[in-house]
Amino acid sequence: MTTASDFDNLQPQSILEAVEAAGFRTTGEYTQLNSYENRVFDIRLEQSSKAPADVDRVIAKFYRPNRWSSRAIHDEHEFLMDLAKEGIPAIAPVTLNNGQTCLDYQGYTMALFPKVYGRMPDEFLAGQLKTVGRTLARIHNVGSRHEAEYRPYLTPQAYGWPALDRLERYVYPELWNRYEETCVTILNRVEDLLEDASFLRIHGDCHKGNLLQNASGDRGFFFVDFDDFCNGPVVQDFWMLLSGGEDDDDALLERDEIIAGYEELRTVPDEFHLMEPLRAMRIIHYAGWIAQRWNDPFFKRIFPEFQSYNYWLDELTRLERIARTL
């Protein structure tokens, strides 16, 4: 029997059993955290001298089956451990009792991360984006050492055309021709622009929701959720941190503050002309991702307007606005 969701078989008992199989003793207390793509849980642990790591709480991440290969997940974990070795505030996975950072349990791949305390910023205060820029430069310095062999490259071949192929059955019929024409124009332009771009290991989904302000009260941030980690131009990790597009005055000031911190440790490449094209490809990719997951009832609940006329008119308006600037 085919289940409606990839996670239908992930029950509370199996969640705790998987953590126990990894070498930890749980108290039985856990809280599910917000995650669209995977299933993520905050789990309390009992003290045990036999545990593979001295932690009292872990974040258990169960990867969506068939999304990433084991080698692609290893690329993510290798990058996080490289960052941790440099003292960069990104949370590396715990080594489990099998000597690895992943455990396969009842059809799911699980990784455990130490619990860190902090909060997502509602908005950035003066000077904070400079700190973010400095940390981002350190991440990219590590990322530039080599590319991730089993992770995708941020190109239309991986992030644009496959998404567009999925969308004809979801875009409101009266809007499809305009939508398709606009997307083809954008993706062809992105292909041309990326021919001279440099690719290295980047976060890939670097927005405020994936920053966690250090609970100690200093101005630092943890970078979290590297699930969309990929090979791409570094400007991809800039634009999602901004409050608007390239013609927005506040966004320009924010960009300058990030650059000021970034340039203390790394030269900013001449790539800012890629921001709006990459934003447009992200819009297409995001819609294609929802379409790919549409059979999961969870997605129908959180995106109830996905097949409505107004949803697709808004998507089309955003894309046409960017297309006119390319």
Residues noted as catalytic? 205, 225
Strands (E), 177-281: 200-202, 211-214, 221-223, 230-232
CA 58 – CA 45 distance, rounded (Å): 8
| Euclidean distance between CA atoms 92 and 279, whole angstroms | 28
Neighbours of 10 (CB within 10 A): 20
33: left (phi over 0), alpha (psi -120 to 50) or beta: beta
- For 155, residues 6+ apart whose C-beta sits below 8 A from its C-beta are 190, 191, 194
What is the torsional sign of CA 144, 146, 152, 156? positive
- Sole residue written with tokens 């309390």: 44
Q: Pseudo-torsion of CA 309, 314, 317, 320, nearest 10°?
A: -90
User: How far from 186 is each of 7, 145, 242, CA to CA, in Å?
Assistant: 35, 31, 21
Cα–Cα distance for residue pair 138/83, rounded to 1 Å: 8
Helix (H) / strand (E) containing 25? strand 25-33
Q: Report the 10 Å Cβ neighbour count for 56.
A: 13
- The pair of structure tokens assigned to 185 is 């124009």
The three-class DSSP label of residue 171 is coil
